[in-house]
Amino acid sequence: MLEILIKVLWLTLPAWVANSAAIDVSALPILKNYTTPVDFGRSWRGKRILGDGKTWRGLICGTIAGGICGLMQANYGTPDLPETSMALGLAMGFGALMGT
């Protein structure tokens, strides 16, 4: 049971890193001005399509962070853990950030 839990945590790590990185980059002074919403401020039936907190800055930086996490897992993982890759990390990071 513990072995399965460790494998699940290992596979979901890029999504966690992406979610964290998307928030963390908002404090970087060099990226302070890049606050364009992913939905460009559009709404549907009076509500924002993706919400107020999703910016291109967070989406791009978070997705890249998920990809780097996947790459590190691929290079430094052990044979008993599931195989990951940069592509999987990018996909999981993007999916975690675009999920509403």
For the chain of 100 residues, list the mean pLDDT of each consecutive stretch of 10. 94 96 91 91 91 91 97 91 93 90
Q: What is the pLDDT of residue 80?
A: 87
Residue 15 buriedness (CB in 10 A; 0-12 / 13-18 / 19+): buried
Total count of residues recorded for the chain? 100
Residue 67 and residue 93 in contact, taking contact as beta carbons nearer than 8 Å = yes
Both structure tokens of 61:
């930086």
The model carries a pTM of 0.89
